Amino acid sequence: MTTRTRILTGITTTGTPHLGNYAGAIRPAILASQDANADSFYFLADYHALIKCDDPQRIQRSRMEIAATWLAGGLDVNRVTFYRQSDIPEIPELTWLLTCVAAKGLLNRAHAYKASVDKNVETGEDPDAGITMGLYSYPVLMAADILMFNAHKVPVGRDQIQHVEMARDIGQRFNHLFGNGKEFFTMPEALIEESVATLPGLDGRKMSKSYDNTIPLFTSAKDMKDAISRIVTDSRAPGEAKDPDNSHLFTLYQAFASKAQEEEFRAELLQGLGWGEAKSRLFQLLDGQLGEARERYHQLMSRPSDMEDLLLVGAKKARAVAAPFLAELREAVGLRSFVNQAAAPVAAKKKAAKAARFVSFREDDGSFRFRLLAADGEQLLLSRHFADGKAAGVVTKQLQSGDALDVRTEALGFSVWLDGSAVADSAGFADEASRDAAIEALRVALTPLED
């Protein structure tokens, strides 16, 4: 029997979906959910929305608009599990269990937190000015979303790859501390869809609410037509040949047209089709494809109780998975009933908790690296870049071999060398005493090391 791949996607509820959201995320996800080998979980990430937005009306409106958009777009709730994050009380409880094993050093390296700190420093503010614990611990909540349902694949943009890697780190740490030989959490993989469209907006930049250049998806046909009329084009008059490959309008048309429609439209632009008529053709194409879905959207928005019922059914399906799994995790960490409690192998647990571990990951440029983390999760080493995972694996095995370490100090840091080449580096330290203590901790961690 073929194991179904579990795919999980969260949609943050802070805005109204536009045409770029639909082409880039919603449409491909709905198509993927129709795969018989996929077990798809889609959720409204409304806890995440609270990190970014403190307007209750906006969050409530966005939850409804995004739910209606996915349902109107053809999401089959009988094939997938579609739910609100806030309807799953096991999620915040798992978040706390994971928070208790997540290393602060790991969260310090989160891109969003570091960017906020850097911005504060640049403007002369206190480094943590305006930074909430929600923003800081966002990666742990995302890890709980993913690990609760043991997702195999998590479709994300490149800016979110780090969060999936952090979910792996935190999940591995939990398994290591409490698994006693059992792997509670599946290690998720980021799924980057290179072929997914990133649509240009009215001005040619990426379609985004922050640029105010979006084309409405389901608000009304008039709104869509008005937006299309504002697409920036060049000054070539009707009758003059247009350049489809450098036309934002053509790129938008291409994202929704069949091959035959695309070729016909390209030929007409090369033959001098006027921009006004070209915009009319784009509206007709989009209206033809999205008109029925727009009607379904407005029906759903006028009957919120129907959406509420569907989401509660989805929450029931999700909790049927989450509740028994959380009970296992509570048992594992010692939150057990006083009746019939099983004796925990304390000695074995303590021994396992002392071990350091390697964590491998892949950079955006395709290279492979690893971290050596101490038992408390703090980073002892960060490797150099390797062309492939096998080469990185060979180095980790050599470091675990028990051979004498070639450690070379460099100012207030150090590097580890193998066969005449530097393979990994430490962080910088405040003074030589701290650096030397870290070298000793490294030697202890590698004598011996459990992988």
Q: Is the pTM of this model over 0.75?
A: no
Residue 158 among known ligand-binding residues: yes
Residue 157 marked ligand-binding: yes
pLDDT at 345 over 60: no
Q: Which residue has the tokens 């650096």?
A: 435
pLDDT at 337: 86
pLDDT in tens, 167-179: 999 999 999 999 8
Q: Is 309 annotated as a binding residue?
A: no
Task: Report the chain's terminal Cα–Cα distance, integer Å.
Answer: 31
Q: Pairing state of beta strands 189-191 and 413-418?
A: unpaired
Is the CB of residue 236 less than 8 Å from the CB of residue 207?
A: no
CA distance 16 to 93: 29
pLDDT at 90: 97
Instruction: Give residue 197's pLDDT.
Output: 64
Residue 13 annotated as part of some ligand binding site: yes
401 has binding-site annotation: no
Mean pLDDT of 390-400: 87
The total number of residues shown for the chain amounts to: 451
Q: What mean pLDDT, rounded, does the chain reach? A: 89
Residue 235 known to bind ligand: no
Q: Is the pLDDT reported for residue 354 higher than 60?
A: no
| Tokens, residue 447 | 């004598």
233 is in an annotated binding site: no
| Higher pLDDT, residue 210 or 369 | 369
Confidence of residue 362 (pLDDT cuts 50, 70, 90): confident
Q: How many Cβ atoms from other residues are within 10 Å of residue 317's Cβ? A: 16
Question: What gap in Å lies between CA 386 and CA 361, rounded to an integer?
Answer: 11
Asked whether the predicted pLDDT for residue 399 surpasses 90, the reply is no
- Checking if the pLDDT of 343 tops 70, the result is no
Long-range Cβ pairs for the range 232-240 (8 Å, 24+): 232/202, 232/203, 232/204, 233/275, 233/278, 236/275, 237/274, 238/272, 238/273, 238/274, 238/275, 238/276, 238/277, 239/272, 239/274, 240/272
More confident of the two residues 76 and 432: 76
Quick check: 24 pLDDT over 50? yes
Q: Which range has the worst mean pLDDT, 198-202, 270-274, 288-292? A: 198-202
In angstroms, the CA 244 to CA 71 distance is 34
In sequence order, the 6+-apart residues with CB closer than 8 A to the CB of 90 are: 148, 319, 322, 323, 325, 326
Residues contacting residue 155 through CB under 8 Å, at least 6 positions apart: 7, 9, 25, 29, 32, 191, 192, 193
Q: d(Cα 379, Cα 169) in Å, to the nearest integer?
A: 12
86 is annotated as contributing to ligand binding: no
Q: Strand pairing partners for 414?
A: 409
Q: Is 350 annotated as a binding residue?
A: no
Cβ atoms of 447 and 406 within 8 Å: the answer is no
